[in-house]
Amino acid sequence: MTTAPHGLATVELTKSFGGVRAVDRASVSFHHGKINALIGPNGSGKTTFFNCVTGMIKPDSGTVTYRERDITGRPPHRIARAGIGRSFQLCRVFPRMTVLDNVLVGVRRNRLRDLIAGARQPDEVEKARELLVRVGIDHLENAEAGNLSYGQQKLLELAGVLMGDPETIMLDEPAGGVNPALIGRIGTLIRELNAEGRTFLVVEHNMDMVMSLSDHVVVFDRGRPIAEGPPSVVRADPRVLEAYLGI
């Protein structure tokens, strides 16, 4: 797949909280069809940027475009419908529901009512089971999600995101708090899903994972990109060292 300019992009995106400019005129183009990483020190605005892009919060100004469509400030379900799925830094699963039902809820939270009423669509159940096999937790189908390890919950959340069949997947710290064996599995899954044509945008602190997995890295500092490029270039950029080390 070639790097097309028509993927996810922002122009001068800005969001303040009181006097803090969490995202500060950030203009970023992600590489469509690739694995993109967004890195930066704590407080550099990565999560706020993610939330603005996925409609969880409205930016103060600037634009977000996807596939040449303006999606700025659209509500999350509209952005999901445009083809962008996301996970959350602190996993969002329903702890008292079974693993299978969590996947069935997927991105369509409005299905929750049907599930509570005991109604399951057979084709959706089949798809959910396939996805549980895919992420490697099908043996836990009937377990309560709250009893899964944190890493398994991340895999469950990914299966839920895949229920919506998104073309672009945004993951907020997929390796955070996860044991090394499961980090390896999550990395392999991201690679496989990318090879099938899905674009990734991953916020991650685990530098080994970022450097081994990504095609393109964007580095944030104080709410805006300060460097970008392939991992080998970004890693050697003095501005990046300065941002991380504060020298």
Binding stretches for ligand ADP (CB under 6 A): 17, 20, 22, 40, 42-48
Give the Cβ contact number of residue 207 at 10 Å. 13
Quote the least distance from Cβ 125 to ligand ADP, whole Å: 36
Q: Which residue has the tokens 């303040």?
A: 16
User: Facing residues of 229 across strands?
Assistant: 217
Minimum CB separation of residue 36 from ligand ADP in Å reads 16
Q: Which is nearer to ligand ADP, 36 or 47 (CB)?
A: 47
- Closest CB to ligand ADP among 17 and 150? 17
The nearest distance, CB 142 to ligand ADP, in angstroms, is: 35
Compare residues 48 and 54 and give the one whose CB is closer to ligand ADP. Answer: 48
DSSP the chain: ----TTSSEEEEEEEEETTEEEEEEEEEE--TTSEEEEE-STTSSHHHHHHHHTTSS--SEEEEEETTEE-TT--HHHHHHTTEEE--SS----TTSBHHHHHHHTT-GGGHHHHHTT---HHHHHHHHHHHHHHT-GGGTTSBGGGS-HHHHHHHHHHHHHHT--SEEEEE-TTTT--HHHHHHHHHHHHHHHHTT-EEEEE-S-HHHHHHH-SEEEEEETTEEEEEE-HHHHHT-HHHHHHHHT-
For residues 221 and 44, is the Cβ–Cβ distance under 8 A?
yes
User: Between residues 22 and 103, which has the closer beta carbon with respect to ligand ADP?
Assistant: 22
Q: Which residue, 101 or 204, is less far from ligand ADP as judged by CB?
A: 204
**For ligand ADP, which is the closer residue by CB, 24 or 157?**
24
Cβ at position 50, least distance to ligand ADP in Å: 8
Q: Token pair of 10, please?
A: 């922002």
In angstroms, give the least distance from the CB of 225 to ligand ADP: 12
Residue 119 CB, shortest distance to ligand ADP, in Å, is: 37
Q: Which is nearer to ligand ADP, 23 or 97 (CB)?
A: 23
Minimum separation from the CB atom of position 22 to ligand ADP (A): 3
